[in-house]
Amino acid sequence: MRGGIARKALVLGSAGLMVLGMAACQKQSAPEQQASQTSLKIVEQFPIDENGAQIKPPDTAAAADPAGDGKATCPPLKLAMMGALTGPDAALGINILNGAQLAVDKHNAANPGCQVTLEKFDTEGDPNKANGVAPRIVDTQEIIGLIGPAFSGETDATGGLFNQAGLVATTASATRVDLSKNGWRTFFRGLGNDGSQGTAVANYLKNTLGNKKVCVVDDQSAYGIGLATVVRETLGPVADSGCNISVKKEDKDLSAAVTQIKGVAPDSIFYSGYYSQAAPFVQQLRDAGVTATFVSADGTKDPEFVKQAGEASKDAILSCPCSPAPPAFAKEYTAKFNQEPGTYSTEGYDLATILLKGIDSGIKDRAGLLEYVKAYNAPGVARQYQWTDTGELTNTLIWVYKVQ
């Protein structure tokens, strides 16, 4: 692998793997009461390869700097960020926005002759709303690059429009495998897909943790189904048919699924969905006396999961193709936003940096920026960035995280 990353890695992280093997805790009357009494947080553990084995983290010391040399000149230009900024899963979109904003602000402070504006577009993570937002981005000619869309469903709904407009669309978080199979020349995924993540985390459960029986639950979203399918296929017979469950994303009463899982008595439960449902799910599992390890992925890997689930989130394992924040980046980010970097913050920062470096090289239009990204090959704070002809990274990282 280029840029000092010696081998392909799958890192279960920023949304990382968290093991919830918890003894029954004192029940609180509300999630907020639990949250106020917990000091738990999501802590990175290590990257893993596709077989689920621990590997050495990559060296990203030479990460690209959005400030550049301070000599850039350009006409007024804009980048856009598109994703869920309100709604139940807004924390994930805000993490991306903040990362991108940090890069833009650092660039503008260092380059008075080249001021770039970051326009934000809220989709609430809803493909239907994204269909209304995308034309506004395309019709704003000053926007020559996009960080987004954030979720797989909205990416699928709008990717054709961005492709037709020749607008680079760099996603920090949309992981459904088939997004890169649509023939879009403007699609660039800034992290590993569900094929790499699902394979790695399933093998981690089966090969490294030695699980013999796993319940796999998906939330019926484009993301949830895609990831769960890979996990089920990789686990094979270890994915117990007695608790192969689909729930509706908006459901908060998951008692039927909990009862079904309790009857199977698995070693672990893999939930494929978002933190807004994972939190009540793990609470209801613990309240019912289910002590199996709770495992999820990048959609759950957000501080809101711990905040909303409280002590029930203890020991949860989370996987993520997103990478943890290096100390220097974390210090800058925390100082600016008064909170630590979250899932996809590093990816949002890196993707914005890449687009800014293209602008600093003298590019002033969409066509030029598209060619720049196609040829890009350099390290960021999260990983090395170089893309195939289909917009997939040539090397991916999967990290494991744990709630401690």
Domain containing 96 — which CATH number?
3.40.50.2300
Does residue 8 lie in a domain region?
Answer: no
41 and 144 in a single domain? The answer is no
Q: Residue 37: its pLDDT value, please?
A: 63
Report if residue 175 sits inside a domain. Answer: yes
**Predicted pLDDT of residue 34:** 43
Co-location of 42 and 148 in the same domain = no
Sign of CA dihedral 202, 205, 211, 216: negative
- Contact present, 336 and 396 (Cβ < 8 Å): no
Q: Which of 273, 301, 319 is the last residue of a domain?
A: 319
Whether pTM > 0.85 for this model: the answer is no
Q: Are residue 261 and residue 340 in the same domain, yes or no?
A: no
Residue 173 lies in a domain: yes
What kind and span of H or E run contains 120? strand 116-122
**AA identity, residue 74:** C
Considering the domain architecture, whether residues 302 and 236 belong to the same structural domain is answered as yes
Please indicate, yes or no, if residue 341 is contained in any of the structural domains: yes
Please tell me whether residues 185 and 332 are part of one structural domain: yes
Residue 332 belongs to a domain:
yes
- For the stretch 314-338, pLDDT in tens is 999 999 999 999 999 999 999 999 9
Its domain, for residue 254, covers: 17-56+195-319
Q: What is the pLDDT of residue 67?
A: 97
Distance separating alpha carbons of residues 151 and 171, to the nearest angstrom: 8
pLDDT at residue 396, rounded to an integer:
86
Q: Quickly count helices (H) and strands (E) in the chain.
A: 12, 15
Q: Are 348 and 96 in contact (CB under 8 A)?
A: yes
Residues 86 and 167 in one domain: yes
Together in a domain, 211 and 290: yes
| Number of structural domains the chain divides into | 2
- Find all residues with CB under 8 Å of 244, minimum gap 6, and list them: 215, 216, 232
pLDDT of residue 395: 86
Same domain, 232 and 285: yes
Strands (E), 222-332: 239-246, 268-272, 293-296, 317-320
**pLDDT at position 189, please?**
98
**187 and 331 both lie in a single domain:** yes
93 plus 146 within the same structural domain: yes
The pLDDT value given to residue 58: 81
Read off the pLDDT of residues 144-194 as tens digits, 9 standing for 90 and up.
999 999 999 999 999 999 999 999 999 999 999 999 999 999 999 999 999
Residues forming beta bridges with residue 271, ordered by sequence position: 217
Q: What is the pLDDT of residues 62-103, one digit of tens each?
A: 999 999 999 999 999 999 999 999 998 899 999 999 999 999
Is residue 397 included in any domain, yes or no? no
Q: Which helix (H) or strand (E) holds 331?
A: helix 327-337
Would 399 be classed as within a structural domain?
no
Which pLDDT score is estimated for 25? 33
pLDDT for the residue 36 = 44
Contact 272, 298 (CB under 8 A): no
Residues 335 and 186 grouped into a single domain: yes
Three-state secondary-structure class, residue 173: coil
How many CB atoms within 10 Å of residue 245?
18
Residues 215, 313, single domain; the answer is yes
Q: Which residues, 6 or more positions from 357, have their beta carbon under 8 angstroms from its beta carbon?
A: 64, 66, 68, 372
What is the number of residues in the chain? Answer: 404
| Regions in the chain scoring below 50 on pLDDT | 1-36
The answer to whether residue 42 is domain-embedded is: yes
